[in-house]
Amino acid sequence: MSTELLAPLDLAFWHLETDAHPMHLGALAVFEPAPGARPRELLELLGTRAAAIPRLRMRVRDVLLPVGGAAWFTDKDFDVHRHVKRIVLSGDDFMPQATRLAGELMEQPLERGLPPWQMYLLDSVGDGPFAVLVKLHHALADGMRAVAIGAGIFDQIASAAAGRGAVRRRHHPVPPRSWLPGPQEAAGIALDRLGDVRRALGVGASVVRASRLDLRGSTALTARSSGTRRLATAELDADTVQRVRRTEGGTANDVLLALVAGALRRWMLERGEALPGVDPRALVPVSRRRPGGAATGNRLSAYLLGLPVGEPDPRERLRLVRTGMDRNKAAGPLRGAGAVAVLADQLPALAHRFGAPLAGNAARMLFDVLVTSVPLPRSALSLGGCPLRAVYPMAPLARGQSLAVALSTYGGRVQVGLVADGKALPDLDRLAAAVHEELRVLQALLPTVPAPA
């Protein structure tokens, strides 16, 4: 892999970025120490494994054709030490320090002249836990592919990749062909383009119908951006989430969305903020990636869901979320504001280059908060023999928005990563606590199991 054009949606994410609105995903992976594991050796291992991932050796450069386009090129001057760094924390309370520092590091845009990613080994003096903060530009991958790329640092995935690399593959010569399409191929291309235009018009109409021109119902979720970032985390029992799902119906994701709605309601009331007259909109990303499809880039759409923060009854909130998501799924991922990602995939490169400022400012008209679930491997993972304890995913903030919520499940726990504008939501820890409290509220709805006689 030496040269590869950025897909339209990847190009959109690349051009949407500003210094105040970096467009990178992130994850804070927390590990338990293992006997004999030394930070400097872990740092070297991290660098070695990251350097072995081909995608992480690529950087973006403009190209002449298509006009306004860009491509991934292998960085001939790649130096992994520019990307993998160690930061030693002081004090005994590791996790609060690590989350605070992770928020500050998430503020900083990635250097665009280098492969757009960064990893930080965060550890403390002594034998306590340590963490790895991973930052990947959204142009590099969506959440699912970001997990696949980042997973290459773990012992189990790195060993499997090394085993596959030892197998020699036979390459069959490909006969040369003209760059000029034949008559049948040209006709096929023309029909494809007409189909693309029809699809873009249909999706565009859906996006326009879903947009809001009246933003008077704005809350702290849509406060003016300051460019600062704050991170808070929560951890939930995955078995309790599944028990609520089995009792109340729907999916585990429905339960988690209802938890977010209830936590936002509780948090707004506790901070003395009036509940909005119209439920805030959540953009819930949906993968459009097919099994065996391209391993890189973004293949996304999304569903649009009103989070019922005005509903006081937790069971009714869950029902409203479930019916809303059922309605979204019945319509399909090409309807509503979430389909803006599909629309971006239909636009030419030049439109992304010059239309990015307008598109960035339009996010507030479409949704108020991003809520995304990131799939993780189910097997136990480790780094240098140190077992992985938790992974807190982090999503980027859209311009004019103050909160993004990302969730992942690992080791029987649901880990929640809350990324917020630091000035708009200085009480983000309180929102994280509200997520815990809302799970207890839903747990109280479960039927009690009589003790054995």
Alpha helices in 64-181 (DSSP H): 94-107, 143-150, 155-165
Q: How would DSSP label each residue in 240-277?
A: HHHHHHHHH-S-HHHHHHHHHHHHHHHHHHHTTPPPPS
| Per-residue pLDDT, 442 | 92
- Residue 322 · residue 261 · CB < 8 Å: no
Q: Which residues pair with 233 in a beta bridge?
A: 417
| Per-residue pLDDT, 221 | 83
CB neighbour burial string for 182-215, b if at least 16 within 10 angstroms, e if fewer: eeeeeeeeeeeeeeeeeebebbbebbeebeeeee
pTM of the model: 0.84
- Residue 363 · residue 399 · CB < 8 Å: yes
Q: What is the DSSP letter of 337?
A: G
| Per-residue pLDDT, 13 | 83
Residues of the chain predicted below pLDDT 70: 1-2, 143, 161-219, 288-300, 333-363, 365, 449-453
d(CA 11, CA 386): 37
The two structure tokens encoding residue 296:
């890189």
| Per-residue pLDDT, 329 | 85
Q: How many CB atoms lie within 10 A of CB 348?
A: 13
| Per-residue pLDDT, 452 | 53
- Taking Cα atoms as reference points, which of 365, 264, 266 lies closest to residue 307? 264
- Residue 235 · residue 414 · CB < 8 Å: yes
